Amino acid sequence: MAHRVTGVLIFFFLFVHVLDTALVRVSPEDYDKVVATYKTPIVAVLEYGLVAAILFHALNGLRVIAVDFWAKGARYQKQMLWTVVGVWIVLMLGAIYPVLGHAARVVFGS
């Protein structure tokens, strides 16, 4: 279920991204305003969520491929799921500072 949810979230992000990028042709001033909102701490948290969704979707996709194409994949799918979750947690902990560092400095000061 989480694989499907993250896939839908990524799709909607890509849809909004295409729309806001297309805005530059329609109204460069409005495009600049939209891009300025992307520099807020709230959007940084949303960006962290996007990183989480993409990373989980990618890692779980590899697990799904292993289940489908490896003869013993179905037997080990639970262990592979917990491995995916563990790797995802470690990588998300490592992404906290690079993704949220600027937002933390804006909110709490340097």
Given a contact cutoff of 8 angstroms between Cβ atoms, the answer to whether 37 and 99 are in contact is no
Report the candidate in 10, 17, 104, 19 with the shortest Cα–Cα distance to residue 51. Answer: 10
Say whether 102 counts as a known binding-site residue: no
Whole-number Å distance between alpha carbons of 3 and 64: 9
Residues annotated in a binding site for heme: 57
Binding residues: 57
